[in-house]
Structure 1
Amino acid sequence: MICAVHSDRSGRVVVASDWAAASFDGVTTGPFHDAIPLPAEAAIVPLSGREAEGLDHGGRLRRLGAARFAVAAVLPPGWLRLALPAYAEAGQDQPLAPRAYVAVGADEHGELVAAAASLDGRPGASAPTDLAARVSATLRARAANRELRQLARCARDYACRAAANAFMGRDDCALPVGAPQNERAATFIALRDDRDATPTEPAAFHPSPEEIADVAAAHLEAGGTLVTFGRACEGEPLLAVREIEDAVRRIRARAPHATIHLETNGSLPVALRRLYDAGVDSIAIRLASGRADTYEAIHRPEGYRFTDVRASLGEAAGWKVALSLVVLALPGLTDRPRELDAIVALAGELPPGSALVLRDLAADPRRALALASGDGPLGMRVALERLRADASHLVLAANARPLARV
């Protein structure tokens, strides 16, 4: 039996061995399924003001009792959640902070488990142990570069892996440009949380194309595999097309074979084309739904519509780029039949070898689900099986990992 877990008043996680764990599928709360050992880098987080729930010996859903508070897991990159935590709101008016909450329980040995699946088959890069020293040394050598100073702040103060990579010479390096936003999602939704670069604060400056290119070239020369525009704390990079276009041309001139990646909502097809022409060769377009009404309820776009996103995806499918469709997945929404049909239809427009990325949507799950009503969910496991069958020409993954030319 998978046992329920909760926290006490001190915040200590407690296994309630007399109660079976429960999970929420977006409509109903029931038995805990799809348990995997909690990944090493996962975090257990309290659900403020929510009461823990479990199943009694008769299989009935009950609150665990006074001062037994609900908890959830937040998983590291590479994992996809299959169920949401079960809890009672108890008249709580304050939304949960937007995070990718996952149902959690404990096995017969008291070890924590989560309702999740591994899609990538490999964990994310571990946090560097000598980051502070590397940041200090790099800043001493190149103190005038504002792009580098911003990355140092993101890496040290917010533990952003994509920023830390700039100082480690590995994997992909984020290149913030201080782009504005054109999505106004509800405060309990974070559309740009990819767990390698969690939204914290946007860059409060506009680096020059020269500064951006210098950071990118140094990263690639040190052994990094690619550079990325549009990571989590950025706004929409297509709104900074002039600066990025100039920077991309400079990067391409200094590193002709580098992979230059762009993560975008695809809101401006003309701007996307300009960046492709400048030298971007890897594009990820993210969305919470393939249906216009659901998309606009979740994203709340400003100055564009879902038809623009479709146009960008259609155009990019004809270019010589590594293309990813990033679906922001939420149990109870993504696994609805009509939502799945729409995702499969979009996937069918992508060329073979493109990526279909399932990334957990960071949100207060119940409030996010309330924004878009629809038919009952099939279950995330069933959704995965459908996508593997009907989008078999694509690489199914939990992270956008563009192929890098090394």
Structure 2
Amino acid sequence: MGTKINVVYATAQGELEFDPTLQALGADGEEYWELRVTDLVPLPAGATLFYLPGRSPLGIDAGGEVETITEQGITAVAAILPQGYTRLFLPAYQREPDAPRLPLFGYTAVAFKDDQLWVAAHRTDELNKWDPKFFNTPELSDLIQEKLAQAPQNRILKQLAHCAKEYHCFTAQNIFYGRWEGGIPVSPVCNAQCLGCISKQVAECCPSPQGRIKFAPTPEEVVEIALPHLSGDEAMVSFGQGCEGEPLMAGTVIKEAITRLRQKTQAGTVNINTNAGLPDVLEELAIAGLNTARISLFSADPEYYRFYHQPQG
């Protein structure tokens, strides 16, 4: 007999249980696959478990048939993984007709084996700077208040405080910790309507996990945050965050901010996360002193690219 990998579910009281009679499944598109030992790693430190309302867990019974757990109040369970892990399967469930839509998170299949929880994923990167143990620390609240007191009129800083506390955003928190990659949102608008946008769902198909900024920052606000941050430990300031649109749409502000920053310091790295839909603007930023760029690309196939990104204009 092979190793038992059992279905995990949440009770109506929010407690986790497992079904010893059902083998765990993972979803891949519209197909379900029996989870194997080679698909799994122990639930990583810093992972977050979610119950999925209106979704009944699926498993395989002793006869090899897919079975749905239909008891009242029982729901499927998923994990959201920390950085450095690549998920292999989505959670397997049967969606009820009136099930609420889920926020756009990276849901991963969860299973029970050898008296512990496992997830359908592999560790693919050693990203120690994103280890959850370095974030949401007891001193964070005081650091936020201290930084806000230094720049009480800075709207970006107020937004970052919100992101750090409410969304637990690591790049926002890094601004207050004074280290590593710190995010600086600058654009309330976008030149695309990506299906998986996490800050604004035009069609309201599902809840956005973050709210997009509603103001246009000034170069002065950017420099006020970025200049001291660039003197920190392995520092990077990064435009193009989850709480904004396309940063190249604010190219004039970014260019002026980079110019002022590089007149005062050559320390640290200035980065942008972008869809690169305005290549001329990106080139101008590179000339001004932008060091690195991460470009999001759903597909190199024009049809699939347009289907997902839905470029505007």
Pair 1:88 & 2:94 matched: yes
Matched residue, 1:237: 247
1:371-390 superposed matches below 5 A: none
Q: Which one of 125, 129, 140 corresponds to residue 131 of structure 1?
A: 140
Pair 1:14 & 2:17 matched: yes
Count of matched residue pairs: 296
Matched residue, 1:114: 119
Select between 199-208 and 226-235 the one with higher mean Cα deviation.
199-208
1:333-348 superposed matches below 5 A: none
**Closer, same or farther in 2 for the Cα pair 1:81/1:93, shift >3 Å?**
same
**Closer, same or farther in 2 for the Cα pair 1:150/1:97, shift >3 Å?**
closer
**Closer, same or farther in 2 for the Cα pair 1:199/1:95, shift >3 Å?**
closer
Q: CA deviation at 1:256?
A: 1.3
Q: Which one of 284, 289, 292 corresponds to residue 274 of structure 1?
A: 284
Q: CA deviation at 1:295?
A: 1.8
**Closer, same or farther in 2 for the Cα pair 1:224/1:204, shift >3 Å?**
farther
Identical-residue share of aligned pairs (%): 33
Calculate the TM-score normalised by the size of structure 1. Answer: 0.69
**Closer, same or farther in 2 for the Cα pair 1:122/1:172, shift >3 Å?**
closer
Distance 2:291 2:21 in 1: 55
The letter for the 1-side match of 2:228 is A
The 8 Å contact of residues 53 and 99 in structure 2, kept in 1 or not, is answered as no
**Closer, same or farther in 2 for the Cα pair 1:204/1:179, shift >3 Å?**
closer
The letter for the 2-side match of 1:119 is T
Q: CA deviation at 1:104?
A: 0.7
Matched residue, 2:197: 190
**Closer, same or farther in 2 for the Cα pair 1:265/1:12, shift >3 Å?**
same
Distance 2:76 2:25 in 1: 11
Root-mean-square deviation (CA), in Å? 1.9
Matched residue, 2:41: 36
Distance 1:277 1:151 in 2: 28
Q: Which one of 158, 180, 195 corresponds to residue 171 of structure 1?
A: 180
Structure number with higher relative contact order (C-alpha < 8 Å, ≥ 6 residues apart): 1
Q: CA deviation at 1:93?
A: 6.1
Q: Which one of 256, 264, 273 corresponds to residue 266 of structure 2?
A: 256
Q: CA deviation at 1:7?
A: 1.0
**Closer, same or farther in 2 for the Cα pair 1:199/1:245, shift >3 Å?**
farther
Q: CA deviation at 1:292?
A: 1.6
1:15-42, Cα deviation, whole Å (9 max, x unpaired): 1111110011223112013110011111
Distance 2:198 2:210 in 1: 12
Matched residue, 1:158: 167
Distance 1:25 1:158 in 2: 28
**Closer, same or farther in 2 for the Cα pair 1:134/1:224, shift >3 Å?**
farther
Calculate the TM-score normalised by the size of structure 2. Answer: 0.89
The letter for the 2-side match of 1:162 is T
Matched residue, 2:60: 55
1:310-367, Cα deviation, whole Å (9 max, x unpaired): xxxxxxxxxxxxxxxxxxxxxxxxxxxxxxxxxxxxxxxxxxxxxxxxxxxxxxxxxx
Where do 5+ consecutive residues of structure 1 fail to align?
304-406
